[in-house]
Amino acid sequence: MLRSTLLCAALGLLRAQPFPCPPACKCVFRDAAQCSGGDVARLAELGLPANLTHILLFRMGHGALQNHSFSGMTVLQRLMLSDSHIVAIAPGTFHDLIKLKTLRLSRNKITHLPAALLDKMVLLEQLFLDRNELKDIDQNMFQKLVNLQELFLNQNQLAFLPARLFTNLGNLKLLDLSGNNLTHLPQGLLGTQAKLEKLVLHSNQLVSLDAGLLSRLRALKELQLDRNHIRSIAPGAFDPLRSLSHLTLSRNHLEFLPSALFLYSHNLTFLTLFENPLEELPEVLFGKLAGLRELWLNRTRLRTLPATALRALSGLREFGLTLSPRLSALPEDAFRGLASLQVLALHSNGLAALPGALLRGLDGLRRVSLRHNRLRALPHALFRHLRSLERVELEHNQLEALAGDAFADLPRLAEVLLGHNPWRCDCGLRPFLAWLRRHPGLVGRAEPPISVFPRYCSTTPPVEVEAGVLLFMFGLHIGPFCIFSFPLRVFL
Ligand SMILES: *[C@@H]1O[C@H](CO)[C@@H](O)[C@H](O)[C@H]1NC(C)=O
Ligand SMILES: *[C@@H]1O[C@H](CO)[C@@H](O)[C@H](O)[C@H]1NC(C)=O
Ligand SMILES: *[C@@H]1O[C@H](CO)[C@@H](O)[C@H](O)[C@H]1NC(C)=O
Ligand SMILES: *[C@@H]1O[C@H](CO)[C@@H](O)[C@H](O)[C@H]1NC(C)=O
Ligand SMILES: *[C@@H]1O[C@H](CO)[C@@H](O)[C@H](O)[C@H]1NC(C)=O
CATH (domain of 55): 3.80.10.10
Residue type, 172: L
DSSP assignment letter at 163: T
Does a structural domain hold residue 474? no
Does a structural domain hold residue 93? yes
Give the pLDDT band of residue 27 (cuts 50, 70, 90): confident
Mutate to test the pocket of ligand 3, among 111, 177, 178, 181 (most ligand atoms within 8 A of CB): 181
Beta-bridge partners for 450: 484
Cβ(452)–Cβ(426) under 8 Å? no
Does a structural domain hold residue 108? yes
Q: Whose CA is nearest to atom 14 of ligand 1?
A: 51
Q: What pLDDT shows up at residue 222?
A: 98
Widest pairwise Cα distance in the chain: 98
Q: Is 478 helix (H, G, I), strand (E, B) or coil?
A: strand
Across 290-419, the runs of DSSP E, i.e. the strands, are 294-298, 318-322, 343-345, 367-369, 391-393, 415-417
Q: Is 443 helix (H, G, I), strand (E, B) or coil?
A: coil
Q: What pLDDT shows up at residue 441?
A: 53
Q: What is the DSSP string of 128-158?
A: E--SS------TTTTTT-TT--EEE--SS--
Q: In 3D, which of 256, 250, 251 has the Cα closest to residue 232?
A: 256
- State the ligand closest to the CA atom of 22: 1
Q: Domain span at residue 34?
A: 1-133
Does a structural domain hold residue 59? yes
Mutate to test the pocket of ligand 3, among 134, 136, 156, 157 (most ligand atoms within 8 A of CB): 157
Mutate to test the pocket of ligand 5, among 271, 275, 276, 324 (most ligand atoms within 8 A of CB): 275
Residue type, 397: N
Does a structural domain hold residue 305? no
Tens-digit pLDDT profile for residues 310-359? 999 999 999 999 999 999 999 999 999 898 999 999 999 999 999 999 99
Q: What pLDDT shows up at residue 420?
A: 87
Give the pLDDT band of residue 187 (cuts 50, 70, 90): very high
Give the pLDDT band of residue 43 (cuts 50, 70, 90): confident
The pairing of strands 232-233 and 208-209 is: parallel
Give the pLDDT band of residue 404 (cuts 50, 70, 90): confident
Q: What pLDDT shows up at residue 18?
A: 56
The total number of structural domains that make up the chain: 1
How far away, in angstroms, is 268 Cα from ligand 4 center? 9
Q: Which residues line ligand 1 (CB under 6 A)?
A: 18-19, 31, 49, 51
Atom of ligand 4 nearest to the CA of 291: 2
Q: Whose CA is nearest to atom 8 of ligand 3?
A: 157
Does a structural domain hold residue 378? no
Tell me the CA distances in angstroms from 140 to 114, 158, 186, one per residue in order.
Answer: 10, 16, 16
Q: Whose CA is nearest to atom 1 of ligand 1?
A: 51
Give the pLDDT band of residue 448 (cuts 50, 70, 90): very low
**Least confident residue range of 24-28, 310-314, 347-351, 379-383:** 24-28
Q: Does ligand 3 lie within 6 Å of residue 133's CB atom?
A: no
Does a structural domain hold residue 213? no
Q: Whose CA is nearest to atom 9 of ligand 3?
A: 157
Does a structural domain hold residue 351? no
Q: Give the mean pLDDT of 199-215.
A: 96
**Least confident residue range of 26-40, 165-179, 343-357:** 26-40
Q: Does ligand 3 lie within 6 Å of residue 32's CB atom?
A: no
Cβ(191)–Cβ(168) under 8 Å? no
Q: Considering Cα of 165, then 170, then 171, then 175, what sign does the dihedral take?
A: positive
Cβ(100)–Cβ(124) under 8 Å? yes
Across 1-104, the runs of DSSP E, i.e. the strands, are 25-26, 32-36, 54-58, 63-65, 78-80, 86-89, 102-104
Rg (CA), the chain: 32
**Least confident residue range of 8-22, 85-99, 251-265, 316-330:** 8-22
Q: Which residues line ligand 2 (CB under 6 A)?
A: 67, 90-92, 95
Is the pLDDT assigned to residue 147 strictly greater than 60? yes
Residue type, 56: L
Q: Report how many helices (DSSP H) and strands (DSSP E) the chain contains, helices first.
A: 2, 25
